[in-house]
Chain A
Amino acid sequence: MDFIGAYSPDNLMFLVEGFWITLKVAAISIVLSFLIGGILGILRYADIPVLSKIVAAIIEIIRNLPLLLIIFFVYFALPEIGVKFSIEASAIIALTVFESAMLAEIIRSGLNSVPKGQIEAGRSSGLTYIQTLGHIVLPQGLKKMVPPIVSQFISLLKDTSLATVIVLPDLMHNAQVINAQSINYIVPIFILVALMYFVVNYILSIVTRRLELKTS
């Protein structure tokens, strides 16, 4: 094991560059999938004739596919029908598609956990369905959704590493490039990489715990 060689300034810089890509891809995918997942989750919850069924079907299909397959599909299959994205965009699209479906389910079940009596109280006082959703159901559901949503974000951040298969130069990818220099680097580099993933995700989970305490 060669810690000193592995942690050379060049290698560290290269890892940070990869980490930056990881964080960037994850952050963009988190924002997009939260928005899209939110809309899909509400549409599925709302029980709109036909539309909710279609949304449910889409969510179910995506949720039951491996993320890796979706990444391959976006990057290798879509170009076959003339739709071509960069590596980074492909990773973001694939992650967003997959995580939106996961988040939609979390959001739907959070909304479902709000007792029906709350909706009846709102509706019977003359509030519209949308008003009842916005003022009564969503705020209550959101509190219950925060922990599972954040843990979904954490798995999203970890799942970005799957995009090494389409050669996204993320943390995982760059680590492997360094490892290819010398077999003695493998352990030190993986320890460092694990630490980097861990720290970010651990901070995320501490923030959630704080949020949970605040809302309970």
Chain B
Amino acid sequence: MIKFENVHKHYGDFHVLNDINLEINKGEVVVIIGPSGSGKSTLLRCINRLETISEGLLEVNGVVVNDKKVNINEFRKNVGMVFQHFNLYPNKTVLENIMLAPVKVLNKSKEEAKKTAMYYLEKVGIPEKANSYPSQLSGGQQQRVAIARGLAMSPEIMLFDEPTSALDPEMIGEVLDVMKALAREGMTMVVVTHEMGFAREVADRIIFIDKGQILEDTDPTEFYNEPKDERARLFLSRILNH
């Protein structure tokens, strides 16, 4: 469903992504981990072309993402994204946040979009916040709204860019629970995170990336028990023993 073939990306002299080869199948939950500045967020953001690649081939849903002729808005309908800082629209209510894209992009009627929005708000457990503004919500609630906003487009792939990094510790659980439920339903998910519990519990694969290179691509148990790569071992010991 997602295929990177010899993908490179440069920011000037900086080689952010170095020969990435990666294939993610439908229904897989893939967790990307790595030290900060390793290129993991960039890798994720390439998938929906928030970042462009410099070289190689990137195919998502049968679409060559880096092809200039691609209708990018059409393509992005099918790829939801959740950000570290939620990025909810502060001038719109929770409901309006969720309804905007379905109405404007999928041309749904307001009633239909509202029904869908309420369905997903129920799903993430905060239907009572429908008419609140994002500033009236806790971080955990905001992130759950952001997930509902992504899901309301009925995407085939969901991308998560450090969805719990900006949250207070006591709110991480509620967001991870929503993501776990989503994983069990068979959503194709690519998640950049340091949440090891989450990775262990629901990830089908762990990708370890450092200095723009994929150093490990294995199942979680194997990764945690005996990472093959030296840098992965070092990284693991740092985040597990802090």
A16, B147: Cα distance in complex, Å = 61
Selected contact of B104 from candidates A117, A118, A127, CB within 8 Å: A127
| Binary CB contact string for chain A from 113 to 147 against chain B (1 if under 8 A, 0 otherwise) | 00101101111111110010001100110010000
Interface stretch (choices B81-89, B122-130, B186-194, B213-221): B81-89
A121:B83 contact, CB within 8 angstroms: yes
Main secondary structure of the interface of A (DSSP, over half): helix
Residues of B within 8 Å of A115, CB to CB, are: 87
B87:A120 contact, CB within 8 angstroms: yes
14 interchain pairs, CB-CB under 8 A: A117-B83, A118-B87, A120-B87, A124-B76, A125-B76, A126-B101, A127-B73, A127-B101, A127-B104, A128-B73, A131-B104, A131-B105, A135-B100, A140-B91
B89:A123 contact, CB within 8 angstroms: no
Interface size in chain A (residues, C-beta < 8 A): 18
A126, B83: Cα distance in complex, Å = 15
A24, B101: Cα distance in complex, Å = 43
Give residues 47-85 of B contacting A (CB, 8 Å): 48, 50, 73-74, 76-77, 79-81, 83, 85
- Nearest B residue to A124 via CB reads B81
Interface size in chain B (residues, C-beta < 8 A): 24
B91:A125 contact, CB within 8 angstroms: no
Most chain B CB atoms below 10 A, which of A118, A122, A124, A143:
A124
Selected contact of A126 from candidates B50, B76, B87, B89, CB within 8 Å: B76
B105:A127 contact, CB within 8 angstroms: yes
A121-B83, A124-B79 given; A136·B89 CB < 8 A: yes
- Nearest B residue to A121 via CB reads B87
A120:B50 contact, CB within 8 angstroms: yes
A16, B175: Cα distance in complex, Å = 65
- Nearest A residue to B88 via CB reads A121
B105:A126 contact, CB within 8 angstroms: yes
Q: Give chain B's interface residues, CB within 8 Å of chain A.
A: 48, 50, 73-74, 76-77, 79-81, 83, 85, 87-91, 100-101, 104-106, 149-150, 153
- Nearest A residue to B89 via CB reads A136
Residues of B within 8 Å of A121, CB to CB, are: 81, 83, 87-89
A121, B161: Cα distance in complex, Å = 12
10 closest A-B pairs by beta carbon, nearest first, are A125-B101, A121-B87, A126-B105, A117-B87, A124-B81, A126-B76, A126-B77, A126-B73, A139-B91, A140-B91
A124, B79: Cα distance in complex, Å = 8
Output the least CB separation between B50 and chain A (Å). Answer: 6
A124, B160: Cα distance in complex, Å = 12
Residues of A within 8 Å of B104, CB to CB, are: 127, 131, 135
Give residues 68-119 of A contacting B (CB, 8 Å): 115, 117-118
A118:B89 contact, CB within 8 angstroms: yes
Residues of B within 8 Å of A122, CB to CB, are: 89, 100-101
Most chain A CB atoms below 10 A, which of B80, B88, B100, B149:
B100
Output the least CB separation between A126 and chain B (Å). Answer: 4
